[in-house]
Amino acid sequence: MSQDMTVGQKASQKAIAEVKAYIDAQRQKTLLRFITCGSVDDGKSTLIGRLLFESKLLFDDQLENLKNVSKKLGTQGDDIDFALLVDGLAAEREQGITIDVAYRFFNTEQRKFIVIDTPGHEQYTRNMATGASQADLAVLMVDARQGLTTQTKRHAYIVQALGVKHIVVAINKMDLVDYGQDRFDELVENFRTFSQKIDMEAFTAIPMSALKGDNVLEASGHMDWYTGPTLMQHLNTVSVADEVAEKPFRMPVQWVNRPDLDFRGFAGRVVSGSLKVGDKITSMPSGKTSKLARVYTVDGDLDEVLAGQSVTLCLEDEIDASRGDILCAGDANLPQQSDNFHVKILWMSEQKLRVGRTFRMKIGAHTVNASVTQTKHVIDVNTLQHISAETLELNEIGECIVRTERPICFEPYANNREMGGFILIDKITNATMAMGLIADAHSGADLDQRTQELTIDRAARADQKRQVPLTVWFTGLKRSGKTYIANALERKLFARGCHSFILDPGNVLPGMSEDLDFESSDQIENVRRVAHMSKLMNDAGLIVMTCFTSPLSFERRMARRIIGTENFLEIHMDTPIEISLAQDSQGYFEKARRGEIKNVAGIDMRFEPPKAADLTFSLRKHSPEDAADIILAKLTEMGVLGG
């Protein structure tokens, strides 16, 4: 027994020493994240499978499983289909294509690698972009037989725009072109021509067969004419030095850590630069300055923070910074501020871009309302021509103007990724609609918005009708009584000789908004149009009633802004949903419940009740006549109805 223990202890001591040495060696290793990209079927997934296989990183059970599945699907006869190692989804295996990004891990003596396999299909470009946004290096695959396709160029364009530092052009399937040098040289030349047009500074070209393993790990025996590195040699030696370390210190405040009155720490990840205790700091956008007092960690304070670290910083002075603000080094060279930008956008939704629609824009830890006010052009990735466009469709890349509701701090994406990259989020479906790269601030005023001089103005028109025009904006769930009450009100107005009009789905949807899809965020676009139409009718001297659900408070804020606060009366129909359901003769809610109609407020979408409506009614408590009388009294009190 005691002998056993000594042997065990010895083994353990030996293990400890070995593991220590090993772990020290691991500590020296750098991390490289790379993607494979390029056209459909160029061999991206096969390459990754081959890399994993040849690096002996597959476990026996994984290999066994791979053999079984390969046989079952029969994609490579009785041979192993390496693509199946990464194409893990049932749909991918059935169709033999990659649909979404896969992340795989391997390491060599020199490095740790995270390899991101991306789909080649144009339909899944947004997934490719997801991978590319996280990569330091891109392996762009080209099928030696096919040459450069539109999709190859699209991916080259995207990795270049996103600032992926290193590009490898892998001319694959060399086995199918007799390992010929001429073909390789020709394709490299083609790519060079294209790369210059997109300002790509450099790339490394490697002839390869992912399937057979030529120039993947080992130098190929079939291509003596090629003397450059194999893919793996290149991956092992390419520089990973990151210039963000050298840039000015920036840390977006993610979260304020305030466990008690004595501690107040700003938590976040340093996106660039470094900072030492005692260094001066400016919080943007407030411009308040202080000094770094301490860097808190559970294992004791640090005296310096570096780019890439997630930290908790305490400042010398009680300055008020909150989520989304940016802590910056010193007081010079600070990020710019603007509410108007030149941007490059990759549109990622099946629903095309609508100019003017409000989105949430997330940049760093900051979220702000924003809209694309103009699309300048889309880029034809094949010819690189700029084509003027009113919109962007799925997977199109365009240059646009974006305006934010409030000014934000930023830096051009080319200078600092995390300070200039953003996403647009749909306000209704919450989907991520686009990725964007800020080029620079835009000085505005190129929108041609001359106001037309009218000889008869709004006041004159109103006087003639002996009323003060305004918009009565009804908001509430479907079947809550908006149109019902608006009609009762209009009858009373009409009887008094007032000039009015009702805008209701019944007269708006078939015409003005017939191009909109009401099961999507087009609802917001409709509200925008109705608000503008109301404003024009008010200008014409009319009293307008609108009857649209307008479930989100920002939509109503937008309408109020367009129409003008002084002309805007908000009426909230707060009828309990049971009563609305009872009114639902067309089975609208029932269909929504069954999921046949989407984005119906109160069913699968939230309704944000107004916090301060001018009047609130419920069909439970008010008859339409009573409600109309109350509104009439309110209008009289406001002096709208004249004498």
At residue 326, φ and ψ (nearest 5 deg) are -125, 125
**The one segment of 118-126, 191-199, 312-320, 407-415 that binds ligand GTP by CB under 6 A:** 118-126
447-452-455 Cα angle (round to 5): 170
Tokens of 513: 């908004």
Phi and psi at 530, nearest 5°, equal -65, -40
36 versus 358: smaller Cβ distance to Mg ion? 36
Q: How far is the CB of 136 from ligand GTP (least distance, A)?
A: 21
Residue at token pair 């962007």: 392
Does the footprint of Mg ion cover residue 98 (CB under 5 A)? yes
Residues 122-161 that bind another protein (CB under 8 A): 126-127, 129-130, 133-134
Per-residue x/- track, 35-54, Mg ion (CB under 5 A): ---------xx---------
C-beta separation of 562 from 465 below 8 A: no
46 versus 133: smaller Cβ distance to Mg ion: 46
Interaction of residue 110 with another protein, rule CB under 8 A: no
Tokens of 183: 């073909």
**Residue 476 lies near ligand GTP (rule: CB under 6 A):** no
Asked if 103 is part of the footprint of another protein (rule: CB under 8 A), the reply reads: yes
* Cis peptide leading into residue 285 (ω within 30°): yes
221 lines the binding site for another protein (CB under 8 A) = no
Distance CA 423, CA 275 (A): 28
- Which parts of 281-320 interact with Mg ion (CB under 5 A)? none
Of 61 and 201, nearer to another protein (C-beta) is 61
Which one of 513, 534, 550, 580 is the catalytic residue?
550
Q: Is 267 in the site for another protein (CB under 8 A)?
A: yes
How far is it, in rounded angstroms, from Cα 510 to Cα 265? Answer: 56
Contacted by 306, from another protein, Mg ion, ligand GTP, none: CB < 5 to 8 Å by type: another protein
Q: How far apart are CA 22 and CA 17, in angstroms?
A: 9
Q: Is 36 in the site for another protein (CB under 8 A)?
A: no
Q: What are the start-end ranges of the E strands in 64-147?
A: 75-78, 102-107, 111-117, 137-143
> Which two tokens mark 524?
């917001």
**55: annotated active-site residue:** no
Using the rule CB under 6 A, give the single segment among 19-27, 116-124, 377-385, 521-529 that binds ligand GTP: 116-124
User: What is the rounded (10 degree) CA torsion for 55, 60, 66, 67?
Assistant: 110
Q: Which does 146 bind (CB under 5 to 8 A by kind): Mg ion, another protein, ligand GTP, none?
A: none
* Strands (DSSP E) found in 47-199: 75-78, 102-107, 111-117, 137-143, 166-172
Please report, as residue ranges, which positions from 63 to 102 form the binding site for ligand GTP (by CB under 6 A). 76, 83, 97-98
144 vs 628, beta carbon nearer ligand GTP: 144
Exactly one of 29, 33, 40, 57 binds ligand GTP (CB under 6 A); that residue is: 40
Instruction: Select from 195-203, 309-317, 521-529, 532-540 the region that touches another protein (CB under 8 A).
Output: 309-317
Positions in 358-387 near another protein (CB under 8 A): 360, 362-365
Q: Strand pairing of 326-329 and 250-252?
A: antiparallel
The interface partner of residue 69, options being another protein, ligand GTP, Mg ion, none and the CB cut-off 5 to 8 Å by kind, is another protein
For another protein, which residue of 10, 25, 30, 182 counts as binding (CB under 8 A)? Answer: 30
Which one of 71, 212, 222, 269 is in contact with another protein (CB under 8 A)? 269
Q: Which does 362 bind (CB under 5 to 8 A by kind): another protein, Mg ion, ligand GTP, none?
A: another protein
Interaction of residue 206 with another protein, rule CB under 8 A: no
Q: Report the residue from 10, 18, 506, 625 that binds another protein according to the rule CB under 8 A.
A: 18
Distance CA 311, CA 244 (A): 17
Could you say whether residue 154 binds ligand GTP (CB under 6 A)? no
Beta carbons of 156 and 195 less than 8 angstroms apart: yes
| Secondary structure, 3-state, 248-268 | CCEEECCEEEEEECCEEEEEE
Burial of residue 375 (number of CB atoms within 10 Å: 0-12, 13-18, 19+): buried
Picked from another protein, Mg ion, ligand GTP, none, the partner binding residue 130 (CB below 5 to 8 A depending on kind) is another protein
Q: How far is the CB of 176 from ligand GTP (least distance, A)?
A: 5
Q: Which does 43 bind (CB under 5 to 8 A by kind): Mg ion, another protein, ligand GTP, none?
A: ligand GTP
Which is nearer to Mg ion, 89 or 633 (by Cβ)?
A: 89
Angle between helices 522-539 and 553-563 (to 10 degrees): 20
- Measured CA distances, 622 to 36, 496, 545, 608, 627 (Å): 64, 22, 19, 22, 6
Q: To the nearest whole angstrom, how small is the minimum distance from the Cβ of residue 33 to ligand GTP?
A: 18
How many residues touch ligand GTP under the rule CB under 6 A: the total is 21
460 binds, among Mg ion, another protein, ligand GTP, none (CB under 5 to 8 A by kind): none
- Does 173 sit near Mg ion (CB under 5 A)? no
Alpha carbon distances (Å) from 544 to 8, 463, 489, 639: 89, 16, 11, 16
Strands (E), 456-614: 471-476, 500-503, 543-547, 568-573
Residue in the shown chain whose Cβ atom is closest to ligand GTP: 120
Q: Supply the DSSP symbol for 617.
A: E
Interacting residues with Mg ion (CB under 5 A): 44-45, 98
Interacting residues with ligand GTP (CB under 6 A): 40-46, 76, 83, 97-98, 119-121, 172-173, 175-176, 209-211
